[in-house]
Amino acid sequence: MKFVGDRHLRKEDPRLLTGRGRYVADLTLPGLLHAVILRSPHAHARIRRIDTERARAHPGVVDVVTFADLGPAGRAMPVAPPHPALRGHNFAPLAGDRARFVGEPVAAVAAESRYAAEDAIELIEVEYEPLPSAQTLAPGAPAVHEDVADNLAGRVSLTRGDVEAALRAAPRVASVRLRIGRGGGQPMETRGLVADWNAALEQLTVWASSQVPHQIRQFIVDLLDLAPHQVRVVAPDVGGGFGAKLIVYPEDVLIPFLARRLARPVRWIEDRLEHMLAATQEREQEHEVTVGFDDAGQLLALRDRFVHDTGAYTPRGLVVPLLTASMLTGPYRIPAVESTFESRYTHRVPVTPYRGAGQPQAVFVIERVLDLVARETGRDRAQVRLANLVRAADMPWDTGLPNYRGSGHVVLDSGDLPSVLRRALESAGYEARAAEAAAARAEGRLVGVGVASYVELTGVGPFESARVRVDAAGRITAWSGVTTQGQGLETTLAQVAADELGVTPADVTVITGDTAGVEHGTGSFASRAAVVGGSAVALAARDVHAKTRLLAARALGVAEADLEQAGRAFTDRRRPERRVTFAELARLAGAATAALGVEPGLESTRFFQPTDMTYSSGAHVTLVELDPLSAAVRILGYWISHDSGRLINPLVVEGQLQGAVALGIGSALLEEIAYDETGQLLAGSYMDYLLPTATDVPTMVIDHLETPSPLNPLGLKGVGESGALPVPAVLASAIEDAVGPTGGRVTRMPLGPARLMELLPPVLSGDEGTGRDRAT
Amino acid sequence: MTARAGPTTHDVTAIVNGVERRARVIPRLLLADLLREEWGLTGTHLGCEHGACGACTVLLDGEPTRACLVFAVQVDGCRVDTVEGLAGDGAGLHPLQEAFRARHALQCGFCTPGILMTLTAYLREHLAPSEAELREALSGNLCRCTGYQHIVQAALDAAAAGRATAPPA
């Protein structure tokens, strides 16, 4: 192996650095129309009548469509995956007689220019009957769907052992209420599509800024009644995803519908306000946690009951709360556990996974519990964690809780969790930092150290595909069913293929996100692309390499053992002047094959179907200081130790970790999607919804462990989301340390300036003796 | 496209990446749309269309400017530089682009053109910035992928390389 493990520079960079990337908004076609979407201004309203006449008459307007025009396409899209406890509802390409959140698509205009289309949507007259809306998770809110009167989308209870008995038997018990708010993936490129109907071929080509082009094709096939071979979906260069592009949205069917209806290419590019209004969000949950433990800080029982806000629809079923519930115990050994949730509909943007997918909430809950136990027992927070972590000798560790896919338990496959925490502590100089923080506090400064451990579920199935081909010019192409939104898969998959084929990454062209490349594909989410996609590429490339060797031996008239490979050619070891190239072998494979005993073509399509998820692990340590006047948090140091199995490209992995931590800092301190009591969005711009800037994110020190996973051929584990998981937890830990025993307790995320002010110790916040509840 | 949609139009002439370009535009056409839709310079990206993310940053007479907040008519007679012109006529990369590649300072690449243009202008006037100064200079450009660390390192590298190759004062 020569290239897996190498800090290889990215193949995609020269294109992206010089403005030659091809993002969906960059694509133009002759006769292109521009679509703009009218969205509901009400969180809940009956749509009584829509008058499109004035809009149609506007210069440049070609068409205006509403639900009534959709015909058979006016159906709810499927919910995936199903779950026996789910009372699921998904949206249709346009709202029918009812709108269920501010931002739900109601009508679309197609015009010769975007300017004309933007003007025309103002001329559409919709008669709404506004209705009371569900803006709370408490029972009794107005029903979002008529057949779900109590708004309960699903209730699930996961258990290990008898938690009530274990809590009764525990020497000590403590409880805490925790709340997490809403945020979003917020890729810098918004969503967008270009769709083109070729009437001569009766084929639809769709370019979509998406993480799941194969799923989009399936939805188009289903709703527009086309055969799979009539629809090609391509994800070109995609400017970030983070989950915001992992479901199939109404527009993903609506824009292709318009292109076919009008027999002209149509482009729709979401603007940022639309993204804030309509791209799916996550994280909102309210937890009631009770923990049983002993005087040594050993965990004995854990009960968590939480309510999850799923928004107006459930495009991804119960995935997010199931992930929170099933990953609750994380890296710790807890003999008795109950994790029960109710997922409730509200008249708000639908909730589906974004970077972390329910797991940051689980990490926040369990790490808050570990800090609580440390405080109650007077023990060091790191020591309490070390005492409870699953040990290396315990692996594989069955947590006893069913996994979110219902395919078995959450079983940690491998790793050394105590080592990864110890290495993070050493890297940070934990004891010295703690002493430094204590000394600073003695001087009246608010400095604190935080620590958090985590495991991340990665490498999710059901499968990924790969096709590797050597063509008659000797070019090597690898197609994968995954997509790339910045993770560098053009490079890392080429590294994998190059090693298997005995060539260099420069010799391998990787094409992702194209349904014409591989017939079946799953997509990029759940930290799966490198693990599952990379494994499939390795298998297909291995096949092709075996075939090149077989054919080369035949061509040269030697045994395979006598072959010497030099890049894309083989020679006879004993007579090096006798040589055959990959190009010649591809021609050979394309011609007389029966006599050679092989099937035609120098290519292979393979699937990798993991038997189970593989779990990454890690620990973060941070040092923070709060400004006593503004309560602003300054991150003075940040240390990461991480184990994502064997690394394909450490440079890319470090970039993933750094970016995910930055996103975690945003979700902990800056970003919150807020609504008023009528469901109107209060954070519709980057003036109100603050993404972390270069001055908010610290320099991070990263240390890698590499415990190979036994579950795939390369020993890989996923990493894309890992960095985001423990950030709210580690910042909570550090902030609580900084404000000291007289300050408040962190029970809520995110911590905006107002909530941080409430945490300051009384002597600093000037409200000594008011006796108000300090919990946030 | 947009040139034909409005009743009133204006002629605009600008020197774009060193080459004179002309267009007839409606008054409300944004510079970003002129660059992208009329002139095919799609390296300038639109991330927020309200001047907050910095992805559309170009140099207008040498100054970093949000192309989403400027009308096309305002650049008449001006010099406009975009990411497409950064490396000059050659096939290679500008030293800042090279540093970005070497440091893995981009992931999805969507914010990258705006960051490159911002830093190009900044490093022209600040030959030896500190890390803190660079972070401040970058604070008007949002990147969701990288966490900025590699961008800051790349900019420090490019500044150092610039000093090493600069002619003695």
Q: pLDDT tens-digit profile of A209-248?
A: 999 999 999 999 999 999 999 999 999 999 999 999 999 9
What is the predicted pLDDT for the residue at B166?
Answer: 66
- Tens digit of pLDDT for each residue in A550-572? 999 999 999 999 999 999 999 99
- Tens digit of pLDDT for each residue in A347-391? 999 999 999 999 999 999 999 999 999 999 999 999 999 999 999
Residue A666: phi, psi to the nearest 5?
A: -60, -45
Over 50: is that where the pLDDT of A776 sits?
no
Over 90: is that where the pLDDT of A199 sits?
yes
Closest to A730 (Cα-Cα) out of A774, A642, A656, A668: A668
CB A177 within 8 A of CB A286: yes
CB A304 within 8 A of CB A365: yes
How far is A723 from A142, CA to CA, in rounded Å?
38
Over 90: is that where the pLDDT of A626 sits?
yes
Question: What are B81's strand-pairing partners?
Answer: B59
Question: pTM of the entire structure?
Answer: 0.96
CB A489 within 8 A of CB A530: yes
Q: Cα B89 to the chain's mean position, in Å?
A: 17
What is the predicted pLDDT for the residue at A765?
Answer: 53
How far is A668 from A40, CA to CA, in rounded Å?
30
Give CA angle at A460 (A454, A461), nearest 5°.
165
DSSP helix/strand/coil, A650: helix
Q: What is the mean pLDDT of chain B?
A: 93
Lookup result for tokens 């809403």? A182
What sign for the dihedral angle of Cα A767, A768, A769, A774? positive
Over 50: is that where the pLDDT of B150 sits?
yes
Which CATH superfamily includes the segment(s) B95-165?
A: [2Fe-2S]-binding domain (1.10.150.120)
Contact of B53 with chain A, judged by CB distance below 8 Å, is answered with: yes
Over 80: is that where the pLDDT of A450 sits?
yes
Over 50: is that where the pLDDT of A679 sits?
yes
Tell me how crowded residue A730 is: count the other CB atoms within 10 A of its CB.
32
| A264-290: average pLDDT | 97
**Count of A–B CB contacts within 8 Å?**
195
CB A306 within 8 A of CB A286: yes
Give the pair of three-digit tokens for residue A241. 């995803």
CA R_g for chain B: 17
Chain B nearest-CA residue for A189: B47
Does the distance separating the beta carbons of A658 and B36 come in below 8 Å?
Answer: no
Chain B nearest-CA residue for A237: B108
Fold match between A13-131+189-239+245-278 and A464-608?
Answer: no
Over 70: is that where the pLDDT of B169 sits?
no
Does the distance separating the beta carbons of B43 and A237 come in below 8 Å?
Answer: no
How far is A312 from A131, CA to CA, in rounded Å?
14
Lookup result for tokens 């010295």? A432
Does the distance separating the beta carbons of A694 and B146 come in below 8 Å?
Answer: no
CATH classification (class only), A285-460+611-759? alpha beta
DSSP for residue B36? I
Give CA angle at A14 (A508, A10), nearest 5°.
50
Q: Cα A227 to the chain's mean position, in Å?
A: 30
Contact of B45 with chain A, judged by CB distance below 8 Å, is answered with: yes
How far is A15 from A597, CA to CA, in rounded Å?
42
Helix, strand, coil percent content, chain A, rounded in steps of 5: 30, 25, 40
DSSP for residue A248? P
What band does A158 get if pLDDT is binned at 50, 70 and 90?
Answer: very high
Contact of B162 with chain A, judged by CB distance below 8 Å, is answered with: no
Collect all residues of chain B within an 8 Å Cβ-Cβ radius of residue A691. Answer: 53, 142, 144
Domain at A13-131+189-239+245-278: CATH code: 3.90.1170.50
Tell me how crowded residue A499 is: count the other CB atoms within 10 A of its CB.
23
Contact of B17 with chain A, judged by CB distance below 8 Å, is answered with: no
CB B49 within 8 A of CB B114: no
Q: Where are the domains of chain B?
A: 10-85, 95-165
What is the predicted pLDDT for the residue at A763?
Answer: 72
Over 80: is that where the pLDDT of A406 sits?
yes
How far is A516 from A539, CA to CA, in rounded Å?
20
Collect all residues of chain A within an 8 Å Cβ-Cβ radius of residue B114. Answer: none
Q: How many CA atoms lie within 13 A of A512 on its CB side?
A: 30
What is the predicted pLDDT for the residue at A764?
Answer: 58
Does the distance separating the beta carbons of A272 and B48 come in below 8 Å?
Answer: yes
Q: Which residue has the higher pLDDT, B124 or B169?
A: B124
CA distances to A11, A547, B3, B9 from B26, rounded to whole Å, are 40, 61, 6, 5
Tell me how crowded residue A441 is: count the other CB atoms within 10 A of its CB.
17
Q: Where are the domains of chain A?
A: 13-131+189-239+245-278, 285-460+611-759, 464-608
Sequence-separated (6 or more) residues with CB below 8 Å from residue B160: none
How much of chain A exceeds pLDDT 70, in percent? 98
Over 70: is that where the pLDDT of B1 sits?
no
Does the distance separating the beta carbons of A188 and B142 come in below 8 Å?
Answer: yes
What is the predicted pLDDT for the residue at A208?
Answer: 98
CATH of B10-85, one of 3.30.2350.10, 3.50.50.60, 3.90.1010.10, 3.10.20.30: 3.10.20.30
Closest to A528 (Cα-Cα) out of A470, A463, A440: A463
Does the distance separating the beta carbons of B139 and A694 come in below 8 Å?
Answer: yes
Q: What is the mean pLDDT of chain A?
A: 96
DSSP helix/strand/coil, A166: helix
How far is A728 from A370, CA to CA, in rounded Å?
14
| Min Cα–Cα distance to chain B from A293, Å | 38
| A123-151: average pLDDT | 96
Contact of B141 with chain A, judged by CB distance below 8 Å, is answered with: yes
Give the pair of three-digit tokens for residue A204. 């639809």
Q: Cα B48 to the chain's mean position, in Å?
A: 15
Which of A13, A186, A245, A699 would best serve as a mutation to test chain B binding (most B beta carbons within 10 A)?
Answer: A13
Closest to A215 (Cα-Cα) out of A481, A490, A555, A578: A481
Beta strands in A258-392 (DSSP E): 266-269, 285-293, 299-311, 336-345
Residue A592: phi, psi to the nearest 5?
A: -75, 95
CATH of A464-608, one of 3.30.365.10, 3.30.1380.10, 3.30.230.70, 3.40.50.150: 3.30.365.10
Closest to A515 (Cα-Cα) out of A740, A280, A218: A218
- Tens digit of pLDDT for each residue in B14-49? 999 999 999 999 999 999 999 999 999 999 999 999
Fold match between B10-85 and B95-165?
Answer: no
- Tens digit of pLDDT for each residue in B40-79? 999 999 999 999 999 999 999 999 999 999 999 999 999 9
Bridge-based pairing state of the strands A231-234 and A203-208: parallel
Chain A nearest-CA residue for B102: A9
How much of chain B exceeds pLDDT 90, in percent? 88
- Tens digit of pLDDT for each residue in A725-775? 999 999 999 999 999 999 999 999 999 999 999 999 987 555 444 434 444
CB A510 within 8 A of CB A496: no
Lookup result for tokens 């800080």? A297
Give the pair of three-digit tokens for residue A714. 């390369």
DSSP for residue A692? P
Sequence-separated (6 or more) residues with CB below 8 Å from residue A626: A446, A448, A632, A633, A634, A735, A738, A739, A756, A759, A760
Q: For residue A581, give the H/E element and its range.
A: strand A575-581
What is the predicted pLDDT for the residue at A768?
Answer: 46
Nearest by CB to residue A23, choosing from B41, B106, B110, is: B110
Bridge-based pairing state of the strands A192-198 and A125-130: unpaired
How far is A758 from A745, CA to CA, in rounded Å?
9
Does the distance separating the beta carbons of A271 and B52 come in below 8 Å?
Answer: no
